[in-house]
Chains A and B, each alone.
Chain A
Amino acid sequence: MTRILGQAMAFGLFVTILGVFSVWPDYRLLDEREAIVSLTFSHAAQRVGECRRLTQEELNALPPNMRKPDECPRERHEIYVEMHLDDRLVYSERALPSGLWKDGKGDIYRRMTIDAGDYALFVGMNDSGSGDGFDYVGRQDVTLSPGQNLVVTFDDLQKAFVIE
Chain B
Amino acid sequence: MLAILQKAGRTGLGFLQRPLARAFGPVESPFNHLGALTIFFCWIILISGIWLLIFFRTSVSGAFESVEYLTREQWYLGGIMRSLHRYASDGAILTIFLHIFNEFSFDTYRGKRWFSWITGMPLVWMVFALGITGYWLVWDELAQYVAITSAELLDRIPIFTGSMAANFLTDAALSDRFFTLMAFLHLIGLPIFLVFGIWLHVFRLSRASINPPRRLMAGTLLALLVLSLIFPAESQDKADMGLAMQSLELDWFYLHAYPLAQKWSPGLVWLLLVGISALIVIAPWLPRQKTRQAATVNLDFCNGCQRCADDCPYSAIQMSPRSDGLKYDTEAVVIPELCVSCGICVGACPTASPFRSKSPLVPGIDLQDLPAAAIRESMLAAASSLNGDKRILSFACRGSSACDELKNAGEAFVEVECMGQIPPSFIDFCLSRSFADGVFLAACSASGCHYRLGTEWTGKRISRERDPRLRKRIDDRRIAAAWCDFPQHAGRVIDQINAFRKSLPEPLYAAREVAA
- A residues sitting closer than 8 Å to B (CB atoms) are 3, 6-7, 9-12, 14-15, 17-19, 21-24, 26-32, 34-36, 38, 40-42, 98-99, 104-105, 107-109, 111, 146-149, 151, 153, 164
Check B231–A19 contact: CB distance below 8 A: yes
**Are A14 and B20 touching (Cβ within 8 A)?**
no
Which residues of A lie under 8 Å from residue B252 when comparing CB positions? 21-22, 24
- Chain B residues lying within 8 Å of A41, measured Cβ to Cβ, are 166
**What's the nearest-Cβ distance from chain B to residue A132, in Å?**
27
Which residues of the other chain, B, contact A153 by a CB distance below 8 angstroms? 166
A11 to B29, CA, bound (A): 12
Number of A-B contacts (CB under 8 A): 129
User: Do B87 and A15 touch across chains, with their CB atoms under 8 A apart?
Assistant: yes
Residues on the B chain within 8 Å of A149, using CB: 169, 241-244
In the complex the two chains form, is B166's CB within 8 Å of A109's CB?
yes
Complex contact B24–A7 (CB within 8 A): yes
* Nearest B residue (CB) for A109: B163
Would B223 and A107 count as touching, CB distance under 8 A? no
CA distance in complex: A98, B161 (Å): 7
Q: Give the A-binding residues of B (Cβ under 8 A).
A: 19-20, 22-25, 30, 86-87, 90-91, 94, 145, 148, 152, 155, 161-163, 165-166, 169-170, 219-220, 222-224, 226-227, 230-231, 233, 241-253, 259, 262
What is the CA–CA distance of A29 and B245 in the complex, to the nearest angstrom? 7
Instruction: Give CA–CA (A19, B226) in the complex, Å.
Output: 11
A14 pairs with B91, CB closer than 8 A: yes
Q: Would you give the shortest CB distance from B452 to chain A, in whole angstroms?
A: 23
Q: Give Cα A36 to B246, complex, Å.
A: 10
B169 near A27 with CB under 8 A, answer no
Given A105-B162, A109-B155, A109-B163: A11 touches B220 (CB 8 Å cut-off): yes
Q: Is the CB of A18 within 8 A of B227?
A: yes
Q: Is the beta-carbon distance between A107 and B244 smaller than 8 angstroms?
A: no
A26 B91 Cβ-Cβ under 8 A:
no
Chain A residues, Cβ within 8 Å of B170: 151, 164
Distance in angstroms between the alpha carbons of A104 and B158 in the assembled complex: 14
In the bound complex, CA of A19 to CA of B83 (Å): 10
Q: Which residues from chain B contact A147 at a C-beta distance below 8 Å? A: 243-246
B244–A23 touching, CB < 8 Å: no
Q: How far is the CA of A29 from the CA of B262 in the complex (A)?
A: 9
Task: Indicate if the CB atoms of B23 and A22 lie closer than 8 Å.
Answer: no
Among B22, B23, B248, B252, the most chain A Cβ lie within 10 Å of the Cβ of: B23
**Taking each of B25, B145, B163, which has the highest tally of chain A beta carbons within 10 Å of its own beta carbon?**
B163
Across-interface contacts of A15 in B (CB, < 8 A): 87, 223-224, 226-227
Please give, as numbers and ranges, the residues of chain A lying within 8 Å of B243 by CB-CB distance: 147-149
B4 to chain A, nearest CB (A): 27
Q: Are A29 and B220 in contact (CB under 8 A)?
A: no
Cβ 8 A contact of B244, one of A27, A105, A109, A148: A148
B230 to chain A, nearest CB (A): 8
Given contacts A11-B220, A21-B251, list 16 more A-B pairs with CB under 8 A: A3-B22, A6-B19, A14-B91, A18-B224, A18-B253, A22-B86, A22-B252, A23-B251, A27-B250, A30-B245, A35-B244, A41-B166, A105-B161, A107-B161, A107-B163, A148-B242
- The distance from the CB of B427 to the nearest CB of chain A, in whole angstroms, is 29
Indicate which residue in A9, A19, A28, A164 contacts B246 across the interface (CB closer than 8 Å).
A28
Q: Are A12 and B223 in contact (CB under 8 A)?
A: yes
Q: A35-B244, A104-B161, A149-B241 are in contact. Are A10 and B24 (CB under 8 A)?
A: yes
**Nearest residue in A to B246 (C-beta to C-beta)?**
A30
Q: How far is the CA of A148 from the CA of B245 in the complex (A)?
A: 9
CB distance from A27 to the nearest CB of B (A): 4
Are the C-beta atoms of B161 and A3 separated by less than 8 Å?
Answer: no
The 7 closest A-B pairs by CB, nearest first: A6-B23, A11-B223, A36-B244, A15-B227, A109-B163, A23-B249, A40-B166
Give the Cβ gap from A57 to chain B, nearest Cβ, in Å.
Answer: 38
B246 — which chain A residues lie within 8 A by C-beta? 28-32, 34, 146-147
Per the bound structure, the CA–CA distance linking A104 and B245 in Å amounts to 33
Which of A24, A27, A105 has its CB near the most chain B CB atoms (within 10 A)?
Answer: A27
Closest to B224 in A: A15
Residues on the B chain within 8 Å of A27, using CB: 247-250, 259
Closest to B22 in A: A6
Cα–Cα, bound, A23→B247 (Å): 12
In the bound complex, how far is the Cα of B20 from the Cα of A138, in angstroms? 65
Residues from chain B with a CB closer than 8 A to the CB of A6 are: 19, 22-24
B169: contacting residue among A31, A38, A146, CB under 8 A: A38
B419 to chain A, nearest CB (A): 25
Closest to A145 in B: B243
B236 nearest CB across to chain A (Å) = 9
The interface residues of chain A lying within 8 Å CB-to-CB of B226 are 15
Provide the bound-state CA to CA distance between A108 and B162, in Å.
9
A35: B residues at CB distance < 8 A: 244
- Give bound CA distance, A107 to B156, whole Å: 12
List, in ascending order, chain A residues with CB within 8 A of B148's CB.
Answer: 111
Inter-chain contacts of A30 with B (CB < 8 A):
244-247
Of the residues B90, B145, B161, B223, contact of A29 by C-beta under 8 Å:
B145
Residue of B166, B219, B233, B262 with most partner-chain A CB within 10 A: B166
Can you show 27 pairs from A to B with CB atoms below 8 A apart? A7-B23, A7-B24, A10-B20, A11-B223, A12-B223, A14-B220, A15-B223, A18-B91, A18-B94, A19-B87, A19-B231, A21-B252, A22-B87, A24-B252, A27-B250, A27-B259, A30-B244, A31-B246, A42-B162, A98-B161, A107-B162, A107-B163, A108-B163, A109-B155, A147-B243, A147-B245, A148-B244
B395 to chain A, nearest CB (A): 29
Chain A residue numbers with a CB within 8 Å of B87 are 15, 18-19, 22
